[in-house]
Structure 1
């Protein structure tokens, strides 16, 4: 019997798509090892690898299927794009929300972790819908996404306030007290 991680000549791109579909962390870690644990090369591979028809990245696929172990490793790789868009304009967060409709508890966990990693819940897909628009009968998930949108809007407000001087005009940069 052959080894399930054997790839018989498949490219790293083909391998990483397969790893994302099957939640195969052993294969993902083998690819990482093949790339000499170079985070930049690994993030470039993940960011540039896409399915031909859907334009889904490995992160899209894993979120669509709820493959948490794969997602968890990918979220820890510096330089991985967390909000790439597929052909339908969907981010991995859009697909995780759709997954959560079928698997509410696990899906909530995946969505929560994507948000913690910096995924933007305000991004519109090709149908002009945000991830929250795909939530079906899940008040907790709706509340989580609304809270994330609110937090982002408050961060923007806080940033705007810190860029304004005492007289309400925008400053040219940080004051001496802010830069220490």
Structure 2
């Protein structure tokens, strides 16, 4: 392998690895990085001469194993934009699926599902104002349904409301919700305004003391 890639830079080797689904070469290059930041910088910023990121190169070939490995790397960017079409890798993967025979659709759809679950957006438009969904061959009903399902999940991901964000209705306090605002614990004013029952001298003294303190 060393002879095969002799003289090529690490970035050139990365592009080649992603085009050819060469997991062994990708593993070797990543292993030579000193830390996670170096790995992230190398994988996210390496581009082909046509302006494709590594993720685009792998997606354009339907290279499942390489994509799976890329997605496992630290801080890997899921939606880089290429130079010519303005595509994300998800656009690229769908272009590849469209070029393949129908027998490949099940595999291709599994690839797209992995990309979606890893964080690829279905809503990014390319330079032609097309989302990945717009590129799907209408005959590939399974892929259209898969993307719609993820779009629906994304649209509804904010429907859950944290209880701390709920404001009480006008005239209602949080303490009354807990049973304290309607005569529960903490209604000191109600105690002070109560009438004396006259049943005990100590109670009378306490009643007079509290009334005197309140009028000061």
TM-score w.r.t. structure 2 length?
A: 0.70
Cα drift, residue 12 of structure 1: 1.1
CA RMSD, 1 decimal: 1.8
Q: Tell me the equivalent position of 2:95.
A: 98
Distance 1:91 1:109 in 2: 18
Gaps of 5+ in 2: 170-216
Q: Tell me the equivalent position of 2:134.
A: 133
C-alpha contact (below 8 Å) 1:63/1:99 kept by paired residues: yes
Give runs of ≥4 in structure 1 deviating > 4 Å: none
Distance 2:6 2:16 in 1: 13
C-alpha contact (below 8 Å) 1:5/1:26 kept by paired residues: no
Q: Tell me the equivalent position of 2:111.
A: 110
Note if 1:79 corresponds to 2:75: yes
Question: Matched residue of 1:156: which SS?
Answer: coil
Q: Tell me the equivalent position of 1:69.
A: 65
Distance 1:167 1:63 in 2: 50
Cα drift, residue 4 of structure 1: 6.9
Aligned pairs, number: 162
Cα drift, residue 105 of structure 1: 1.6
Q: Tell me the equivalent position of 1:31.
A: 29
Cα drift, residue 74 of structure 1: 0.3
Distance 1:22 1:5 in 2: 17
Say which one has the larger Rg: 2
Q: Tell me the equivalent position of 2:150.
A: 148
Distance 2:3 2:112 in 1: 28
Gaps of 5+ in 1: 169-180
Cα drift, residue 5 of structure 1: 6.8
